[in-house]
A and B are shown apart, each in its own frame.
Chain A
Amino acid sequence: MEISFQTVMSQLMLGLNNGAFYAVLSLGLAVIFGLLNIINFAHGALYMLGAFVALSGYAEWGTLMGMPDFHLNYWAALVVAPLVVGLLGMLIEKTMLSRLYKVDHLYGLLLTFGVALILQGVFTNYYNVAGTPYEGKPEILNGAVNLGFMMFPTYRLWSIAVALVVCFSTWLVIERTKLGSWLRAGTENPRLVQAFGINVPLMITLTYGYGVAIAALAGVVAAPIYSVSPVMGAEMIITVFAVVVIGGMGSIMGSILTGLMLGMVEGLTKVIYPPASSTVIFIMMVVVLLVKPSGLFGREQ
Chain B
Amino acid sequence: MNKTLWSVLVALGLVAPFIVYPIFLMKLLCFALFACAFNLLIGYAGLLSFGHAAFFGGAAYVTGYLVKYAGVTPEVGILIGTLFAALLGFLFGSLAIRRQGIYFAMITLALAQIIYFVAVKSPFTGGEDGLQDIPRGMLLGLIDLNHGYSIGGKTLELNLYYFIFGLFCFGFWVVYRAIHSPFGQVLKAIRENEPRAVSLGYRVERFKLLAFVISAALAGMAGAAKGLVFQLASLTDVNWHTSGEVVLMTLLGGLGTVFGPLVGAFTVVALHSQLSSLGSWVMVVIGIIFVVCVLSFRRGVVGELGRLLKRSL
Contact = CB atoms under 8 A, between A and B. Distances in A.
B10 interface: no
B66 interface: no
A289 B95 CA distance: 8
B120 A278 contact: yes
A104 B111 contact: no
Interface in B5-58: 48
B128 to A, nearest CB: 13
A103 B110 contact: no
A110 B295 contact: no
B117 interface: yes
Given A96-B295, A111-B290, A279-B118, A117 B102 contact: no
Interface string A112-123: 011111111110
Contact-size category for B: 35 or more
Interface in B257-313: 279-291, 293-295, 298
Contact of A114 (B102, B103, B287): B287
A110 B284 contact: no
Interface in A257-301: 275, 278-279, 282-283, 285-286, 289-290, 293
Contacts of B48: 106, 109
Nearest to B104: A106
B103 A245 contact: yes
A158 interface: no
What 8 A-B pairs are tightest by C-beta distance, nearest first?
Answer: A114-B290, A121-B283, A117-B287, A118-B287, A121-B284, A124-B280, A114-B291, A279-B117
Nearest to A230: B280
Contacts of B298: 103, 107
Contact of A249 (B103, B110, B113, B118): B103
Interface in A25-61: 37, 39
B290 A110 contact: yes
Q: Taking chain B's interface residues, is the majority helix, strand, or loop, or is none over half, making it mixed?
A: helix
Contact of B117 (A120, A282, A285): A282
Contacts of A278: 117, 120-121
Given A121-B281, A125-B279, A125-B280, A286 B291 contact: no
9 contacts: A109-B102, A114-B287, A116-B287, A117-B287, A118-B283, A118-B288, A244-B106, A249-B103, A293-B98
Given A275-B121, A278-B120, A285-B110, 18 more contacts: A37-B102, A103-B298, A105-B101, A106-B105, A107-B298, A110-B247, A110-B293, A113-B247, A117-B286, A117-B290, A118-B284, A118-B287, A125-B279, A125-B281, A238-B110, A285-B107, A286-B95, A286-B110
B291 A241 contact: no
Contacts of B121: 275, 278-279
Nearest to B42: A106
A39 B106 contact: yes
